Structure 1
Amino acid sequence: MSIKVRLTLMSFLQFFVWGAWMITIGVYWFQNKQWSGSEFGAIFSTLGISSLFMPALTGIIADKWINVEFLYGILHLLFGCTFLYLPHVQDPQTFFWVILLAMLFYMPTIALSNSIAYTLLKKHQYNIIKDFPPIRVWGTVGFIAAMWLTDLTGNKALEGQFYIAAIASIGLGLYSFSLPPCPPLKSKLENASLGGRLGLNAFKLFRNPKMALFFAFSIFLGGALQLTNMYGDAYLSDFGNIPAYANSFVVRHSTIILSISQISETVFILTIPFFLRRFGIKQVMLISMLAWVLRFGLLAYADPISGLWMIIISCIVYGMAFDFFNISGSLFVETSTDANIRSSAQGLFMMMTNGFGAILGSSISGYVIEHYFTNTEGQMMWQEIWICFAAYALVIAFLFSFLFKHKHDPSALEDIVEAKN
């Protein structure tokens, strides 16, 4: 089996594990357990809390002491065991702590999977700009497959979604032990300072104004992503309270409708090499921010029947909004850092997007919605909410266009990759 096929399977399972429960956990929370909405916000904050330090910490360990594929496998086994226990939790407070523990294991595996793919592709003389996106696209396919499996097996509101994720994660953990070794770069430690031995040199990237701005905007874009994950399914399901929409396909199978977003990802991932070479990293990220504006704006005026086309286009736009920053950003970090801190740098990127960004998106949006966009009957004012989110993304895009200075050289990115190979 070729290394690209093996990495494709790894990518598929990596995001299958996430897709099995992330979009539908809200249905389980509100319909099955009937726990409060304020406590649900804390559940999504676990992604951010764990991403604040675990990706960077595990990146340091992988850079300095332990084979990446071994560490990756151990973390997936621990996540799987934790999720096997999750369905037995009967109160929201304990649920929070158990899922926080699970996220401490899972969130760093995203950055580690990138490191494994980059390392093995380079080792086998592949070009990561050309060959990584088609591999990563199968991660999105895995996410979609898991969403559909959870929906069509009737597990949207049941504990089965957690068992599906657990079994897949344990299988991936065992599979990762069979991957070619990705050893730490111990030779780099011989004359290194204490900070270098601990892997803290990656934090020096903040001294570079361009990298510091990149990480700052990663926080803001990470917040935008959490807005979609938290409220997308709740928004579509809320149409069920309106008799004209109660029996619509959108309400009955909201998870499948939302999976159009991930299907869109599979298309836009494949366009990343073209857009990077043609427009450069700054323009690609700016396009991502404007795509968030369009996505939120369309949702503000959509409905399951006459406005169904707006929901579908919004889901399609999501692929561009997500991929053009997250995947391109990962490649930007990969080609802008030294080899001995590469895993740590990927961990820092994850810390900004899924750490501080997730906390920003879940906590601030929850406060704003509760105090400004909930009517006297306790119902969410969805149109105003989505317009507010669109305005937020527009302000970020405006600031980014002026503050982030980056001159595009069509041959530079390719040259960097070839040099690192």
Structure 2
Amino acid sequence: MMFLEFFIWGAWFVTLGTYLLRNLGASGTQVGVAFLTQSIGAIVAPFIVGLIADRFFSAQKILGVLHLAGAVLLWRASQAPDFSSFYPSILTYMILYMPTLALVNSIAFRQMQNPQKEFAPIRVLGTLGWIVAGLTIGWLNWEQTNSLQSTFLMAAGASALLGVFSFMLPATPPVKKGQSSSLGSLLGLDAIGMLKNRSYLTFFLASIAICIPLAFYYGFTNPFLNEVGMKAAAGVQSLGQVSELLFMLAIPLFFSKLGVKKMLAIGMAAWVLRYVCFAYGNGEGGYWLLIAGIVLHGICYDFFFVTGQIYTDNLAGEQFKSSAQGFITLATYGVGMLIGTLLSGRIFDSYQLTAGAHDWRMIWLIPAGIAAAVLVLFLLLFKERNAAAASTETAGADAAPRLAEAH
């Protein structure tokens, strides 16, 4: 289940920008709008999971229906002749797909006796699925042969397979049948009181701001690598997931040694360094800089986002743990990525030199500058409280199961 869940996403999402630019003649702004569907799906997901899966139908049945419908939508997207006909299919697909990320976790947790020990090895297979998808695209040479339409067909086939397989999964009946929740509870707004803590408010705003440069990475790394001549770029990009996996395993150790502020600061500094590497890297003498920028993904993601999830969890208290995670997810993948995807597309269009050529140095230095500004403000404003520091001492021991939920 986990392998297919993330294989499906990795099969088309990594090369989406390249496909839209090459095959459908899309603009950078349109590429940004396409990636914006992830944010829309993230905002809608709590309603589908909270209002339907938790109350009316078994999670494995909803998972099956969503993936079967998703297979049809991915096939339709592959047949679209232009962006205007492509966009409705992919928008509808992401609204259906994003809730499945919570559903697979729910199904897995409900079947386990000891999730702290059992979940991490299962979730790792999801990261492996994403890696295999990228390696498959590189091995089949779809980027060089202009055959990226096949990525949607491959994803559609995997989605259909998971859709059928879902109905064979163990029964996972609704856990809140007959209960009601407010709109604020579904969106995680119950935890909004945490913003009264000035340091957490600083972290919260930094999380939104750092998602602006994150959107540049998601939307335009693959087109960039292909334009500068990297072979099998999607396969090489999977090194980022390998790095993410390795650093995720090491985070409990780093967390106990460094504490919250240093961990978050290192994560933001890695964003700056990554984009500088991309700005000055190329397919010839600067090839190693491209590889370094990709491998830095593990530090970029784990040290900031995963550390932030642990920090949020420690600060929230038992009553608001789930709400707090929903709140920070809504802020980052909802608000932050929304701003970032719209901005990155406009920046990409602004620095087009000729058809098929761009001033990539400027395109990457802009998100590097944004990340640097966020880092400086964070260092000046964030104060690591003694209580928060003390909580990090225990975080290392029980962080692993929470880390496993991160992508």
Q: Where on the TM-score scale, by shorter chain, does this alignment land: which range?
A: 0.7 to 0.9
* Pairing 1:392–2:359 present: no
Cα pair 1:185 1:340 within 8 Å, conserved:
no
1:271-301 deviation line (CA, Å, top 9, x unaligned): 1222233334443332211111111111111
Shift of the alpha carbon at 1:100? Answer: 0.3
Shift of the alpha carbon at 1:235? Answer: 1.6
Greater mean alpha carbon deviation, residues 81-90 or residues 399-408: 399-408
Q: Separation in 2 of the partners of 1:166 and 1:199?
A: 33
2:192 matched to which residue of 1?
206
Q: Separation in 2 of the partners of 1:349 and 1:318?
A: 20
1:299-331 deviation line (CA, Å, top 9, x unaligned): 111122211111111111112112233334445
2:268 partner letter: M
1:127-151 deviation line (CA, Å, top 9, x unaligned): 2xx6654443332221111012123
For residue 208 of structure 1, give the secondary structure of its aligned residue in structure 2.
Answer: helix
Of 228, 231, 237, 1:239 maps to 228
Cα pair 1:63 1:343 within 8 Å, conserved:
no
Matches within 5 A, 1:156-235: 156=143, 157-158=146-147, 159-186=149-176, 189=179, 195=182, 199-200=185-186, 202-209=188-195, 210=197, 213-235=202-224
2:126 matched to which residue of 1?
139
Q: Separation in 1 of the partners of 2:240 and 2:73?
A: 28
Cα pair 1:295 1:317 within 8 Å, conserved:
yes
1:34 matched to which residue of 2?
25
Cα pair 2:272 2:369 within 8 Å, conserved:
yes
Shift of the alpha carbon at 1:19? Answer: 1.0
Greater mean alpha carbon deviation, residues 282-291 or residues 32-41: 32-41
Shift of the alpha carbon at 1:342? Answer: 5.9
For residue 157 of structure 2, give the secondary structure of its aligned residue in structure 1.
Answer: helix
Q: Separation in 2 of the partners of 1:58 and 1:343?
A: 16
Greater mean alpha carbon deviation, residues 167-176 or residues 292-301: 167-176
Closer/same/farther in 2, CA of residues 377 and 141 from structure 1, 3 Å limit? closer
Cα pair 1:87 1:162 within 8 Å, conserved:
yes
1:103-148 deviation line (CA, Å, top 9, x unaligned): 1011222233344445555xx1242xx6654443332221111012
1:369-405 deviation line (CA, Å, top 9, x unaligned): 444x445888422112222211111111222334444
1:204 partner letter: D
Closer/same/farther in 2, CA of residues 167 and 131 from structure 1, 3 Å limit? same
2:405 matched to which residue of 1?
none
Of 25, 31, 34, 2:16 maps to 25
1:58 partner letter: I
For residue 171 of structure 1, give the secondary structure of its aligned residue in structure 2.
Answer: helix
Matches within 5 A, 1:342-421: 345-371=324-350, 373-375=351-353, 379-406=357-384, 407-409=388-390, 410-413=392-395
Closer/same/farther in 2, CA of residues 201 and 389 from structure 1, 3 Å limit? closer
1:320 partner letter: I
Query: How many percent identity over aligned positions?
Result: 32
2:347 partner letter: V
Shift of the alpha carbon at 1:227? Answer: 0.8
Q: TM-score, normalised to structure 1's length?
A: 0.80
Q: Separation in 1 of the partners of 2:358 and 2:161?
A: 40
Closer/same/farther in 2, CA of residues 361 and 177 from structure 1, 3 Å limit? same
Cα pair 1:76 1:172 within 8 Å, conserved:
yes
Q: Separation in 1 of the partners of 2:187 and 2:73?
A: 32
For residue 305 of structure 1, give the secondary structure of its aligned residue in structure 2.
Answer: coil
Closer/same/farther in 2, CA of residues 326 and 174 from structure 1, 3 Å limit? farther
1:292 matched to which residue of 2?
271
Of 277, 281, 305, 1:302 maps to 281
Give the RMSD, CA atoms, in angstroms: 3.2
5+ residue gaps in structure 2?
403-407
Shift of the alpha carbon at 1:343? Answer: 5.6
Cα pair 2:270 2:299 within 8 Å, conserved:
yes
Cα pair 1:111 1:350 within 8 Å, conserved:
no
Q: Separation in 1 of the partners of 2:186 and 2:283?
A: 50
Cα pair 1:63 1:199 within 8 Å, conserved:
no
2:243 matched to which residue of 1?
264
Closer/same/farther in 2, CA of residues 40 and 411 from structure 1, 3 Å limit? closer
